[in-house]
Structure 1
Amino acid sequence: MSLDPDLAAFLELVEANVMSGSKPSMHELTPAQARVEYDASTQILDVPGMAVESVTSISIPCRDGQHIHARFYKPIKLAEEKGPLPVLLYFHGGGYCVGGLDSHDSLCRSLAALTPCCVLNVAYRLAPEYRFPTAVYDAQDAYQWMLSAGTEYNWDITRIAVGGDSAGGTLATGLCLASRDSSWPQPVYQVLLYPCTSAWQNTESHRRFAQGYLLEATTLQWMFTHYLRDAADRKDWRFAPLEASNLSGLAPSFLILAEYDPLIDEGIAYADRLKAADVSTLVRIYPGMTHDFARLGSIVNEAYQVRKDIANALANEFYPNRNNC
């Protein structure tokens, strides 16, 4: 399928602004400047979040004595749900350098409302102030904290899913690997939106979509240069899950990919590896879409559709006996 026309028009506008010099590319900015631009663009590109019962700010302790922030979305509870609610632990995208609680507020609200389930959106620490593997440790610490805090927040810790987009998807699936290897309770499900999975960005899709499709090759390497300490980190499975020697024993997965995303080839490769390891894996490629389309609610209808699709997949896992799921 050709690129979605509304998305194509948006990308043409972005390219025109870059060419005119009125709006620099992300890789031309400092990380601090890029974070401001990224969050500001969210107000234009995405729609307001759906209604939930409450939103609570949470501080999560980390292994190095510091704390990270998180935002807890409590859904409007279904009448038939009397006990603790299932919860999605979510890690935002942004190449480990940008993004946070505000940039993914609409997405997390929607998933909480549509599933319905609790959602905990984690603001792991960003590079270059905090390089690899700090974000990995923050994700693990958030999961461990969630397991211990379930009673306080009325979470059903036997029904925890993990999810994330782009770099956040890498953190989510890496958490499943760490849980398996550390004998922690395995999440019941993993939702991976166009995750980064490869040590090197040398696939055909990276060449084909290197420029002009929202996530550009120069921007991706700018992010990874800020995040990684050295070249050896690229071969660490916590950065590149395709480097893991064994993917068996992981939670069932839902991989969401975009047809015009440079990451699509490595996403397909990761899905194939999961299937080969007998991990139940659903793959859905959204035609005409680019990277990050789930946050483009003001531009493409598929942003709402993918949220519904994720919510349906989560509901099927969280509420297997409900007739309408």
Structure 2
Amino acid sequence: MPLDPDLAAFLELVEAGIDNGAQPLHELPPAQARVQYDNSTLALDAEGMDVASAKSIEIPCRDGNQIDARLYVPAIPAHDGSLLPALLYFHGGGYCVGGLDSHDSLCRALSALTPCCVLSVAYRLAPEHKFPTAVDDAQDAYRWLLSNGSTCGIDARRIAVGGDSAGGTLATGLTIAARDEGWLQPVLQVLLYPCTAAWQDTGSHSRLAQGYLLEAPTLQWMFSNYLRDAADRTDWRFAPLEAIDLGKLAPAFIALAEYDPLVDEGVAYADRLKAAGVSTQLKVYEGMTHDFARLGNIVNEAELVRRDISQALAKAFSSQLPEKEN
């Protein structure tokens, strides 16, 4: 399918801005890149849906520091006070940019549409915090939620994990760590165009290296800021395709974009999960680019993928409900 016409028009504006002197992310200092990334969200994404509350939380980390998080609680009519399911969400941004505000609309939608609680995590960013800090923060957030979820009205037996781009990598890596460490496995892993490969050498990386929102220089700038050395690239915590065993992981819902340089490695990861016996639902959204789930003011597919994810979450959460006695 051709590139979505609304997306194509948007990308032309982006290119025109660069031609007129606007600097792409990879040419900016990290602090300035974060401001630009967050500010662009206001123009690109739709206003967030209503939820009952969005509460700030601090999560302790293994090194004695704390990270910020935001807990979204859905507005459920006639709620009986029972514990709610939750999605633990990790934002995208190549480990360098993004945060609670850039993904606020997306998290609000998933909370309202599923409905479920969403705990969005502001893991620490590179280059100030190199690999594997983001991985450790993600694991610490999951273990904190397992232990403290009930105090937030959350059912620890019904927790899903998810994320977009680098956040998707953190989410699926978390399922591998949970299996290896003997932690409770999430009920579902939601992966929006995740980074899964050690090297960006697939056909889609070559074919879509420039002009499709996520460009090769930006991706390598992000990874060079995040990784300590070349050896980190082949660590499964950065590139889950490098994991020897992907069996006995949570079921997966994987959403990819047709015009995303990451699409080939996303398909390869879905194939690996299926081959390992993991229940995997893969959907490639035609005509879309990377990050389309946050382009609510540009394309209708942003709402579509949010509804698709919410349906997958609702199904996974309902499958874990205890059977009612006759």
Q: TM-score range, shorter-chain basis?
A: over 0.9
Per-residue CA distance 1:233-282 (angstroms, 9 max, x = gap): 00000000000000000000000000000000000000000000000000
Corresponding position of 1:196 = 195
Secondary structure of residue in 2 paired with 1:79: coil
Q: Distance in 2 between matches of 1:164 and 1:151?
A: 23
Q: Distance in 2 between matches of 1:195 and 1:317?
A: 20
How much does 1:45 deviate?
Answer: 0.2
Corresponding position of 1:242 = 241
How much does 1:83 deviate?
Answer: 1.1
Secondary structure of residue in 2 paired with 1:24: coil
Corresponding position of 2:16 = 16
Q: Distance in 1 between matches of 2:150 and 2:217?
A: 45
Corresponding position of 1:270 = 269
The aligned runs of 1:134-283 (5 Å cut-off) are 134-283=133-282
Cα distance change on mapping 1:181 and 1:209 into 2, 3 Å: same
Corresponding position of 1:5 = 5
How much does 1:19 deviate?
Answer: 1.2
Per-residue CA distance 1:60-96 (angstroms, 9 max, x = gap): 0000000000000000125365410000000000000
Structure 1: 5+ residue runs without aligned partners? none
Q: Any conservation in 1 of the 2:157–2:320 contact (CA below 8 Å)?
A: no
TM-score normalised by the chain length of structure 1:
0.97
Per-residue CA distance 1:101-143 (angstroms, 9 max, x = gap): 0000000000000000000000000000000000000000000
Root-mean-square deviation (Å): 1.1
Per-residue CA distance 1:168-193 (angstroms, 9 max, x = gap): 00000000000000000000100000
Secondary structure of residue in 1 paired with 2:267: helix
Corresponding position of 2:106 = 107
Secondary structure of residue in 1 paired with 2:211: coil
Secondary structure of residue in 1 paired with 2:59: strand
Corresponding position of 1:130 = 129
Matched, 1:39 2:56: no
Identity of aligned residues (%): 71
Q: Which amino acid aligns with 2:18?
A: V
Q: How many residues align?
A: 321
Secondary structure of residue in 2 paired with 1:287: strand
Q: Which amino acid aligns with 1:20?
A: N
Corresponding position of 1:48 = 47
How much does 1:320 deviate?
Answer: 3.7
Q: Which amino acid aligns with 1:52?
A: V
Per-residue CA distance 1:15-63 (angstroms, 9 max, x = gap): 0110121x11111101111000000000000011100000100000000
Q: Distance in 1 between matches of 2:169 and 2:138?
A: 10
Q: Distance in 1 between matches of 2:96 and 2:79?
A: 41
Q: Distance in 2 between matches of 1:18 and 1:292?
A: 19
